[in-house]
Structure 1
């Protein structure tokens, strides 16, 4: 079993280090190869996603990813900015399906921005399409008829792109509570109308899953009003980006949410994927030793489950994280004082 480890920028190396320690503690015989990515790759190699990094990724069974983002690179041409590394990996490796689970750990209900009796009901998965939408559509600047500078980004989806992400979401719902909510803006956007029509067509193959549709503005409202209503949420790239971050604050901290980006490629052990915490590089706290590594550790658990077939090991990690939080080992994002390494130590001890 081979993992490509890409710590990246900011707090990425700190939180990734703890996740690697947790994997090592399981003694599964996994080979881990580190690779440069993001701003640090640009500074070392002149590009945020060097060919050597892509080669290491392609040869692995999965990728454990930290974070990218470096203020020193903000003035670079867009194709050289650190964030292009993650977009490049998604495109080159056809990672089209992003899974972002969100649930409240026992004892942390009061840390949510929502009332405890509401937050404790949160247990959902957001399935976000990753290879389409405005992020990958035609974009640029032009001069309009009034002579003004105008920016544009094209939102588009092909039927086949919606079909493949819809299948992922329906299968996820089959493994949970058999409820799927497809989120769009079909009352305004033609792209969303195609999305809705396609999801309805795919639903015929999953008669055991209850399907509903919701406009994205209503979905954002319901996530704070009645988050327990949701089981699996299916949506596009732009809406999924926003809703998944909103879900993280409903849970209590963005430092607790893991994610998986999966493709169609199957390895000897499972589905190839890239696993990362949903928080950014947080350059303002980089190097201070108090970033919460639990989202990255939980991402490692998802990696073991989906890409390496190590379900029991993934369960152990998640149980150790739950025990760590229950015992009050909390980072600053949760009002505690535990540092990055201390939280990692606590998880390893509880394994």
Structure 2
């Protein structure tokens, strides 16, 4: 896909006339959680900039969401080189906010980026070679106006590149001072164990795995969570809301399906009768708990001690505020967990289950 930018939304306040001063109470909202046995702490909810922070959304709205997030304790912002659309635009927009809003608070923030999926055309712009990963990191730092990121991920496993080379590139990123920690995403349990062994031998802090995980996508329970526990690694899960399926948006069925097909990586085949029945049953459980469906879904993934944080996307302050409300009730009874299992037994969504090995 092309990396050049198309037409932008008009930026009403691009000169940033109103200086940003962070809320003094931003650290009081919740407890931060340790990543494995490392010294790094993350908020239980992190903000991902995958789809709502490219040139497809008004910049002023993006800025409002990021400011609200930081003011309410979300100190971790998760990006990747090809987030947008178009590719690179989320990092560029974040970089504009970093330069004007967040520069005084850089030491209070955890910023991550990734490389592994396709970024530019030709043989050198994808997967896990050293040339791609390290070149991409340099470009990401430039777009974000940063000297370093806190976490740099291999975004997918590459079966055609020796794992020693891929993890060696993460090692170089850390030892060069361009990243503080290393991570991997969508690796199987077996590949995770191999990557951790290589990193340990190099002395590289490979501390975190970013897998897809939700009530409707539980592949991590088939060995990956145990592997992470055994190796003192943490998990930060993405798509905990199953690309919006685990929200109230699609409780009505057909109308929601028509809207959803505009969203990348979620197709009409996701909206099966079994999945929609599960969503309605889960919504009933959420209502009894005094939560929205989205809040139930977030609380459910965060119940697992291995899960340090859940990455959410938000297109508005209202969405972000609702998601943060999940932290008001994160305890489950055994009966509730059993009811959730029963409600989702015939349902399921695919995507990113160690997909980089396919």
Say whether the fold is shared (TM-score over 0.5). no
Q: What TM-score results when the alignment is normalised by the length of structure 2?
A: 0.31
Greater share of strand residues, 1 or 2? 1
**What TM-score, normalized to structure 1?**
0.31
